[in-house]
């Protein structure tokens, strides 16, 4: 369902020449979701009445300066009781827009935030490997201890220290037996 909504939004945005504006707006909305637990709870809650959810979404959109096509989209989603799927819709829209630009998105997890130099080097390496421009969706997870986990589509490369230590632990258990 999220993919259908995202595809419909993308088609309308492309038709009206507003793909960049809509993508910026949905990224702004995602930032609001990331920053506000109350907003995430309101979006995900099936018990919030439609009228309250619609009014809250309209107020958030107005305060964030999100208008036009994107505003109408989010209002329709609220009216149709589909706000719980907004994060998946945003992810799908980003993927469709990137594909339209000839880009792929790589999900990168690192133990610490990547520097600008590291990000540029990783993008260049992935572009050489994949043959397309790469956008990074970077997250920080200190529990991997070091290294990177890179996922592009269905392919994943896990060079994290945590995985290497786990493999070593399994190997050592086999030796002591």
In this structure, are 123 and 141 located in the same domain? yes
Distances (CA, A) of 126 to 100, 106, 161: 18, 9, 20
Task: Report whether pLDDT(155) > 70.
Answer: yes
In this structure, are 118 and 50 located in the same domain? no
State the Cα–Cα distance between residues 60 and 74, nearest whole angstrom: 10
**Domain membership of residue 46 as a residue range:** 2-97
Last residue of a domain, one of 46, 66, 97: 97
In this structure, are 7 and 89 located in the same domain? yes
Report, in angstroms and rounded to the nearest whole number, the Rg of the chain calculated over CA atoms. Answer: 20
Mean pLDDT of all residues in 115-136: 88
Task: Report whether pLDDT(93) > 60.
Answer: yes
The total domain count for the chain is: 2
In this structure, are 74 and 158 located in the same domain? no
Stretch (H or E) spanning 126: helix 116-130
In this structure, are 14 and 88 located in the same domain? yes
In this structure, are 167 and 90 located in the same domain? no
Counted residue by residue, the chain has a size of: 177
The CATH number that applies at residue 128 is 3.40.30
Output the pLDDT for position 70: 92
Convert the pLDDT of each residue in 35-57 to its tens digit.
Answer: 888 888 888 888 888 888 888 88
CB 19 within 8 A of CB 97: yes
Task: Report whether pLDDT(114) > 80.
Answer: yes
**pTM for this model (two decimals):** 0.68
Crossing angle of helices 19-35 and 68-79, in 10° steps, is: 50
């Amino acid at each position: 369902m999220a993919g259908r909504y995202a595809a419909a939004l993308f088609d309308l945005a492309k038709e009206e020449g507003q793909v960049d504006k809509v993508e910026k707006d949905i990224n702004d909305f995602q930032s609001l979701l990331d920053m506000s637990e109350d907003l995430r709870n309101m979006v995900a809650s099936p018990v919030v009445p439609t009228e309250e959810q619609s009014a809250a979404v309209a107020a958030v959109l107005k305060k964030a300066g999100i208008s036009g096509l994107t505003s109408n989209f989010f209002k329709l989603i609220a009216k149709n009781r589909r706000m719980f799927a907004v994060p998946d819709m945003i992810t799908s829209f980003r993927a469709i827009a990137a594909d339209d630009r000839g880009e792929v998105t790589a999900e990168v997890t690192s133990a610490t935030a990547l520097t600008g130099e590291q990000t540029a080097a990783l993008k260049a390496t992935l572009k050489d490997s994949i043959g397309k421009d790469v956008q990074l969706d970077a997250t920080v997870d200190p529990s991997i201890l070091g290294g990177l986990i890179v996922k592009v589509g269905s392919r994943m490369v896990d060079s994290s220290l945590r995985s290497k230590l786990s493999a070593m632990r399994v190997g050592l258990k086999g030796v002591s037996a």
